[in-house]
Amino acid sequence: MQYQPANQSPQPQYVNPGQIDTSFNSGLDAMSRCQSVYIKQRPDYLESLGFCEKKNVYYVYQSDTMGNKPDFKHQAPIFKCKEESSCWQRNCLPGACRAFDLKVKQYDQKQDTNTVFRLSREFKCTFLCLARPMMEVQLENGGKIGYIFYPFMCCDKGVEIRDENNSLIYSVKGSCCQWPFLVQLPCEACQRARFDIVDSQGQKVSELWKESAGFCNALCNVDATNFRLMFPQQSTSRQKALLLAAALFIDFNYFEESPQDQNQNSI
């Protein structure tokens, strides 16, 4: 089936955000019903003042078929993703190298909930095509969902998504000739970047967009990255979990800076 880009008019299956079904059961059932999600990183304003790098926290919202920004005041997230990592790695190593665990939990404002799945990446001293990072995605009971691999690319940006048998499912690729990779400007259009989701046959099946965190946040250099992820049609809940993991992996690889990196960029 031919993929329809996000900038074209929506198909009849468009779902209005006010009609979204949020009555999910536990586990990956929430992913199976989502046609797209909006990933919002919690901004940390102390980091922009030069304080130490803190643990990243992301909220995942169900969105309409085009992945548009939901109404955060009236719609609760379906997942909360929280980073677990050592303080020295967050503040001394770039985001593409440091080790971390990222627990994805069903969102509940009143109490802590069980982990649905988790993302684990070991420290890798990467140089060109040597020691490329890989992140493992697994259920809380230890069952493997798959892997996210960070291949060496001369020009393009992206990751590979592999199943539990290490077989390629999707590739997520974006051109390096986009504003966020060239220069940091606060205008919202200059903060957006597109990544194409390509299947194992090389056919484009969907898109992932890095979205603006807002003019003021960008002007103050606040660490807050938002993503708009449209799932491919007929993708399973496990594949959707891997695509969500790939979006978070891309944030760490390309848009996460340690305080040392920020100081060098400001010189």
* Residue 65 contacts residue 230 (beta carbons within 8 Å): yes
Distance CA 187, CA 178 (A): 14
> What does each C-alpha distance from 150 to 80, 130, 159, 258 come to in angstroms?
24, 11, 5, 19
3-state secondary structure of 22: coil
Judged against a pLDDT cut of 90, whether residue 168 lies above it is answered with yes
- pLDDT on residue 216: 77
The whole-number average pLDDT for the span 100-117 is 86
Percent of the residues in the chain that have a pLDDT greater than 70, as a whole number: 82
Judged against a pLDDT cut of 90, whether residue 230 lies above it is answered with yes
Amino acid identity, residue 33? R
pTM over 0.75: yes
For residue 193, what are the β-bridge partners?
210
Judged against a pLDDT cut of 90, whether residue 201 lies above it is answered with yes
- pLDDT on residue 17: 42
Distance CA 257, CA 267 (A): 15
- pLDDT on residue 240: 96
Q: What is the DSSP letter of 118?
A: E
The whole-number average pLDDT for the span 29-36 is 86
Judged against a pLDDT cut of 60, whether residue 8 lies above it is answered with no
Q: Is the dihedral of CA 240, 256, 200, 233 positive or negative?
A: positive
Q: Which long-range contacts (CB under 8 A, 24 or more apart) does 60-63 make?
A: 60/104, 60/107, 60/244, 61/37, 62/20, 62/22, 62/30, 62/33, 62/34, 62/36, 62/37, 62/38, 63/17, 63/20, 63/34, 63/35, 63/36, 63/37, 63/38, 63/228
